Amino acid sequence: ALVIGVSEGVSYEVSDSQIAARFEPIAEVLSKALKQPVTVKVLNSYNSAREALKQQQVDLAFVHPSHVALEAIKGGHYQAFAWTTGYTDYKVSFLCKESQPISNWKTVAGKQLVMPDADSITSVITRAMLREQGLQGTAVKVTNTRFQEAVPFYVQNGFAAYGATAAAGVIKTWKDGGGKVCAESRGVPIKQWLASRKLDAATVSAAREALLGRRLLFGEDDPR
């Protein structure tokens, strides 16, 4: 059987069984297209995803964080062959209580910033934002929290001046409650499909066509 490795990120509170259940229908679609069994293997941490990709333990991989996917591509073991619709313009927002956007990033220096797991794509993008503004190293006091949903709590209760999150639901709830967004990153694509370079071109092409056609089965707005 071919194995799909699934890395859905580390900053949302979702169980392995929930993730596997979401991808079983896709495994069925791929199984029919490739005419062989396809199973799902949940990679529930970035390090486990890195190790599985490094050792080529999975044939296909759905990788949520761009930086982990690009590491596997750069290592020469995998190639990207599809992107997930709706996740090609992923942006980080800075939650705050200030009424105006950040106009002078020097004023951010020395302040407290909370963001999700340090190895999450949200935190990777946030650190890139800070570097672009000349804020590196310990210029900003950073606190990491396990889940994106916890970010607003820190800002609301004064434990941080800014909260970095890319979760649309978290941002909407914050705005609906009167909270402000004072900065936003540039958009980047995430949620890539990778194929092992051990697979022949015909198999990769068939898998790609099956994934592109799956919208007829699941609908345009389906998160898969």
**181: helix, strand or coil:** strand
pTM over 0.85: no
Q: Tell how many helices (H) and how many strands (E) occur in the chain.
A: 8, 10
Query: Averaged over 78-94, what is the pLDDT?
Result: 89
Tens digit of each residue's pLDDT (9 = 90 or more) over 3-27? 999 998 765 667 889 899 999 999 9
Q: Report the candidate in 27, 25, 29 with the shortest Cα–Cα distance to residue 213.
A: 29
Tens digit of each residue's pLDDT (9 = 90 or more) over 97-141? 998 999 999 999 999 999 998 888 899 999 999 999 999 888 999
Query: Phi, psi (5° rounding) for residue 42?
Result: -80, 130
Confidence band, pLDDT 50/70/90 cuts, at residue 215: low
DSSP H/E element including 178: none
Residue 165 CA to residue 151 CA, distance in Å, equals 7
Token pair, residue 130, equals 């800070």
User: Distances from the Cα of 116 to the Cαs of 11, 132, 149, in angstroms?
Assistant: 6, 20, 9
8 Å CB contact between 90 and 189: yes
User: Distances from the Cα of 101 to the Cαs of 104, 154, 180, in angstroms?
Assistant: 9, 19, 9
**162: helix, strand or coil:** strand
Tens digit of each residue's pLDDT (9 = 90 or more) over 41-52? 999 888 999 999
